[in-house]
Amino acid sequence: MKVLLFLLVLTVGLVVAADRVAENITEDQVATRIAERGELAGPPEVEITGFPFLTQALGGRYEDVRISLTAEQLGQPAGTVAHVSLRGVHVPLSDVLSGSVEEIPVERVEGTATLSYELLAAQLGGDTTLAAEGDGLRLTRTVELLGVEVPLTAAGTVELDGQEVVVDVDQAAAAGLGVPDFVVDRAADLLDFRYPVPALPFGLQVTGVQPEREGVQVSVQATDTVLGG
């Protein structure tokens, strides 16, 4: 009985070890192929979810492959990060074993990219700061209007127009100064801006925006795409 138990434990251990090794090899190959076909600066972090891995590998279909991309890998300004899930990834086991993964058909891609507030504030320059406030944004900036330095605190909304993030200020105050309302309104108009979302790899399209603590979170999506070719 002890021998059988030992053999059982040993077998399970070997299976688990083989499962992990196979997963690591596949993740590395997928990361390399994604970096090449997405013209990234380097291989991204790839995690193939689900256990056991080998059952997915034998079928050549992976339910959920998660990718984390840095600003450097995307070739975008600092503060830009992306987290993407590939749903229904097709990679034949024979291609993995031979190291010849050329194309990666994917049924659906969904994820988010975060644009930092520092990145967006740089669009207005000066001493601009942005932060999340409820479902919108709070902006502060000192502007010069009619020869007057006007320190503004404003509330704004963030929306998506095509592939552009649009920040629109609808309320502003002049930080306790006795500045006429029409001057404040004119100054507030200077805080509106648009930020074109850079072209994203793998045919990803922007589908929505939402202010979050670290920055404006941009939702992205693609269907029936091929990473390769």
- Are both 141 and 222 inside the same structural domain? no
For residue 74, give the nearest of 42, 49, 26 by alpha carbon. 42
The CA dihedral of 158, 161, 166, 169, to the nearest 10 degrees, is -70
Most confident of 95-99, 150-154, 157-161: 157-161
- Are both 109 and 211 inside the same structural domain? yes
For residue 91, give the nearest of 63, 67, 117, 121 by alpha carbon. 63
pLDDT at 219 over 90: yes
The number of domains in the chain is 2
- Are both 17 and 57 inside the same structural domain? yes
- Are both 110 and 124 inside the same structural domain? no
- Are both 100 and 143 inside the same structural domain? no
pLDDT value of position 7: 40
- Are both 110 and 207 inside the same structural domain? yes
- Are both 7 and 81 inside the same structural domain? yes
pLDDT band at residue 175 using 50, 70 and 90 as cut-offs? low
CB 85 within 8 A of CB 69: no
- In 38-92, where does DSSP find H-type helix? 53-59, 71-74
The CA dihedral of 166, 171, 174, 179, to the nearest 10 degrees, is 110
Alpha carbon distance 1, 229 (integer Å): 55
- Are both 109 and 124 inside the same structural domain? no
For residue range 55-81, what is the model confidence (pLDDT) as tens digits?
Answer: 777 788 888 888 888 888 877 777 788
- Are both 103 and 142 inside the same structural domain? no
Residue pointed to by tokens 């993995």: 96
- Are both 73 and 141 inside the same structural domain? no
> What is the bridge-based pairing of β-strands 45-48 and 193-196?
unpaired
**Beta bridge partner(s), residue 69:** 82
- Are both 158 and 221 inside the same structural domain? no
- Are both 122 and 102 inside the same structural domain? no
* pTM score, whole prediction: 0.73
Alpha-carbon distance values, 211 to 18, 68, 115, 123 (Å): 43, 20, 10, 17
Q: Which of the two residues, 98 and 219, has the higher pLDDT score?
A: 219
Q: If phi over 0 gives left and psi between -120 and 50 gives alpha, with beta otherwise, what is residue 60?
A: left
pLDDT at 88 over 80: yes
Please give the structure tokens belonging to residue 50: 């689900």
CB 159 within 8 A of CB 89: no
pLDDT at 15 over 60: no
Enumerate residues 6+ apart whose C-beta is below 8 A from 174: 150, 151, 152, 183, 184, 187
Structural domain range at position 175:
118-196
